[in-house]
Structure 1
């Protein structure tokens, strides 16, 4: 692994004091940031020098919630509520296998890399029987594309016949889930500093899992030293479901199961009240905010300002391609800012807070803020360079505002753990044409299976 010196760029470090350098340098050695500062870089021997004039350097983005398999089913149920959307898509997802999962994961990860994302969470919770190793397919794809990967072993065990939302054909037995979850951690989870692969446990949602699964997953996660993740309070329908089935709100339900704590981060949290937001901050639970997906499904606008003021970590998530067809993290910075201001006015979120959500807050959600999420000496070299010299950015005097509010553009250069995987806006680790063709074939295969399964 060679050393790299990035020179002559604006640097938004996103460190604890929000330090920025109008013209500065970053030195990368052995996958780690060894120096950063204003002015001219120190002399370092045997390095590659990158003249980043006209660019802004940011930490690589952290996608704190995604469903890579959903790239197979984009553009369906486009005018539906969450529950209607799920009812239409559950039977289609029952047709996935290892081959199509790999194609979907590779397409999703390649797209995320192009939008400046260096770390990806994949919440996979659909495991049809006898279709190969779906978790391994995602891991292989992430290794090939070159992104830092946090797959979760998700699960559903509450089928329609037991009062849940998913059809019985896509749920698993409790004992099988727990055994598979433990095996996934043992096989893939790497807790070492700078790890490229970490695993979490992630039962899907209150309307698709049993109390027993939630409790035993929490116990298993504590035993294995991994984090917990799930969907929560995404729509009013979920609130109604929890009140009718459990006699309480979704947050109360989760807390009663021992699931609200510093080792937990939750997707969406659109419909939480001020007391619940304050509680999240007090105990250190994180939230993955997915503004475009929430808009696509008409779920509402999450109380981001209240969560941030409470001290909670609020990362950004793309969510699955079936509810966010764009599939890129970069545009979510602008979407998050606009959504917050729709809800709370012009001071509800700043451009720098939006950037922090995409970087250090996402790292906090994953318990990795000491390793990634900011440009600081000793952290892993996950860095994005954005070219602001294009006409679309001309005249935007604040580089951070240009990045957040200006036009969407592919990342100019992306470095993950000291390795360049995007250069001159081109992904170096995969042939995008081949990736797209593979994805089209996989999607057609899954849709054909679902049509063939209809009575």
Structure 2
């Protein structure tokens, strides 16, 4: 079988490899779904079977962005409860989310994916934990949307079994039983998880949070994940209210509680991790537990500033997350590079908190580490999967910024000329190649209205 090649030349290249190698003018050669070579200057002479040669003058090539935390379904409830902290926000929106069905979730997944992918995301994830009774095959609908969009994808199959009557926040009819949640999660793994290096679909076990799941669901969920060889994901240490909840209910803080239920380890990553003390950070570093940093959502819900510089110094794997679009209405990950840098500079470390290169690393190699895929994604190196983005940097918005990485991180959102997932274009000239954006916009508008009407009926 003949291996075809794509050659990209004449662009700045930020490899985000172990040495942060950069080329002011460089090239990539892509053979099939993998990177064959990357380096300075033009591609080597004599490259065979070239089916596409791209003159990328005026562009920056980076690894595709990797989103480590999201809630796709929230695309249908953007712009609501805009002045609430987390617990009040959840209480305000759970009654609406409890009316979700399969068609709504499919439309919301398409909307969330479309926005991320056109903005440079090549690996996405969704933490879906709302499973109203009779709602249909929600996991299947989300996975189908990711497949149609062409993105590499991790579904964190979430669950809740602590409803209002048990002291939780969600309505009782929006939660599952312990046995039902575990069985449905295992079925999702068996049907959809692909552990191969080239995998387009992986599954994680993901009970929602300490205040919406039982201790038994956390403990048995961890046992299920390790028996099946998949990763574990949940929310952790997001707010002071969560800290208070854990101390009142369990007699310990969130990190100690997670440790007691088997939820620290190199196969675990948690979203937010805003309110962590030095002992918590040391526990994450010691166990290799990862963090999905969501700066815009943390600010939107007034959760606080995560100690990202301290986490990184301790050796904790950290990636970036959009979080749900009901708490980050842009739905884009590339804006999180800028916000991560700016918000962390408001903290104790000030201007030394993050650099532009470290922000790019969080969104690429950091995300790959958090999702357990750093061997194959997250940097531009020979042998890695060809998940590559070409950002146009020669327009009015960026042309006067000499440093292309600084332009990408600190400047206006850069246009994506080309985005490849495994060497296959998913974006060309700022437009999605696999799905029609106008159709997606119409379906999300229709399903958002239908959801709002159902919620209004009570």
Structure 2 residue runs of 5 or longer lacking an equivalent are none
Q: Is the 8 A contact 2:120 2:334 kept in 1?
A: yes
Among 211, 214, 218, the alignment partner of 1:214 is 218
Q: Is 1:377 aligned to 2:379, yes or no? A: no
Question: 2:439 — aligned with what?
Answer: 434
Q: Distance in 2 between matches of 1:201 and 1:143?
A: 20
Among 42, 47, 50, the alignment partner of 1:44 is 47
1:75-102 superposed Cα distances (whole Å, 9 cap, x missing partner):
1100001001100111101111111111
Question: 2:91 — aligned with what?
Answer: 87
Q: Is 1:407 aligned to 2:409, yes or no? A: no
Matches within 5 A, 1:41-440: 41-42=43-44, 43-47=46-50, 48-343=52-347, 344-440=349-445
Post-superposition offset of 1:159: 1.0
Q: Is the 8 A contact 2:98 2:171 kept in 1?
A: no
Post-superposition offset of 1:394: 2.4
Aligned residues: 453
Q: Distance in 1 between matches of 2:5 and 2:451?
A: 44
Post-superposition offset of 1:281: 1.5
Post-superposition offset of 1:392: 1.3
Q: Distance in 1 between matches of 2:305 and 2:54?
A: 40
Post-superposition offset of 1:340: 1.0
Runs of 4+ deviating beyond 3 Å: none
Post-superposition offset of 1:22: 1.0
Question: 2:16 — aligned with what?
Answer: 14
1:306-348 superposed Cα distances (whole Å, 9 cap, x missing partner):
0000001110000001000000000000000011101021011
Q: Is the 8 A contact 1:278 1:306 kept in 2?
A: no
Q: Distance in 2 between matches of 1:142 and 1:410?
A: 22
TM-score by length of 2: 0.98
Give 3-state SS (helix, strand or coil) of 2:346's partner: helix
Q: Distance in 2 between matches of 1:394 and 1:9?
A: 14
Q: Distance in 1 between matches of 2:327 and 2:417?
A: 27
Post-superposition offset of 1:301: 0.5
What RMSD, in angstroms, separates the aligned Cα atoms of the two structures? 0.9
Give 3-state SS (helix, strand or coil) of 2:263's partner: coil
1:197-232 superposed Cα distances (whole Å, 9 cap, x missing partner):
110000000000000000000000000000000000
TM-score by length of 1: 0.98
Q: Distance in 2 between matches of 1:261 and 1:224?
A: 15
Q: Is the 8 A contact 1:413 1:423 kept in 2?
A: yes
Give 3-state SS (helix, strand or coil) of 1:272's partner: coil
Moved more, 274-283 or 262-271: 274-283
Give 3-state SS (helix, strand or coil) of 1:199's partner: strand
Q: Is the 8 A contact 1:280 1:286 kept in 2?
A: yes
1:250-276 superposed Cα distances (whole Å, 9 cap, x missing partner):
111111111111000000000001221
Q: Distance in 2 between matches of 1:338 and 1:447?
A: 35
Q: Distance in 2 between matches of 1:425 and 1:176?
A: 42
Q: Distance in 1 between matches of 2:242 and 2:179?
A: 26
Post-superposition offset of 1:286: 0.5
Q: Is the 8 A contact 2:133 2:173 kept in 1?
A: no
Q: Distance in 1 between matches of 2:166 and 2:415?
A: 46
Q: Is the 8 A contact 2:161 2:177 kept in 1?
A: yes
Give 3-state SS (helix, strand or coil) of 1:122's partner: strand
